[in-house]
Amino acid sequence: MNKLLVVLALAAAVAAGWYFFFPSDEARVRETFKKMEAALEKDGAETNFKAIEKARHAVALVEPGCTFELVDGENSRNFTLSNVAADITQGIVAFRMKAGVLKVAFEELKVRFSDRTTAEVSCDFFYKGDDFGWAVRDARALEATLRKDSESGRWRFARVRVLNIVEK
């Protein structure tokens, strides 16, 4: 009986180790979204250096040539990042300057793999904060394509489409 318990405990330890040290691709895609949340969020007492540091973390999550589409009725815009580091840093710093405190959440992630290196993700994108005295709240639908970097194994954003929920 003791040998059986030892074998079961060892099997459980191996399974737990495998799960934590070798997460699935879906878990890695979800982790990429968590990292982007952290890069976009802002607490009240943040320096410009902190904002730039967070933007640099976001840059690492986006591949060169990533395309963004903002769909909001007649005001739809498409753009491709030509200089990923500069474009993302500028965009994130500008986005984060809209509020003194900003909380971001990607919820209801649905991950579908078209092949071993491409994931299609749809989710709800929420952000809320205070706009220096005014409450800011918004919800959007987000569709994204992520690709797995062949060298590092990290998943990075290749395409992002943000839709007004009414348009979806």
Interhelix angle for 84-96 vs 48-59, to 10°? 130
Q: In whole angstroms, what is the distance from residue 138 CA to residue 130 CA?
A: 12
Q: pTM here? A: 0.77
Q: How would you classify residue 140: left for phi > 0, otherwise alpha for psi between -120 and 50, otherwise beta?
A: beta
Residue 79: the pLDDT is 67
CATH dotted code for 23-164? 3.10.450.50
Query: Over the stretch 86-117, which tens digit does the pLDDT of each residue have?
Result: 777 777 777 667 677 888 899 999 999 999 99
Q: In whole angstroms, what is the distance from residue 40 CA to residue 65 CA?
A: 20
Those residues whose C-beta lies under 8 Å from the C-beta of residue 47, and which sit 6 or more positions away, are none
Residue 43: the pLDDT is 79
What average pLDDT does the segment 44-72 reach? Answer: 83
Those residues whose C-beta lies under 8 Å from the C-beta of residue 41, and which sit 6 or more positions away, are 54, 102, 103, 104
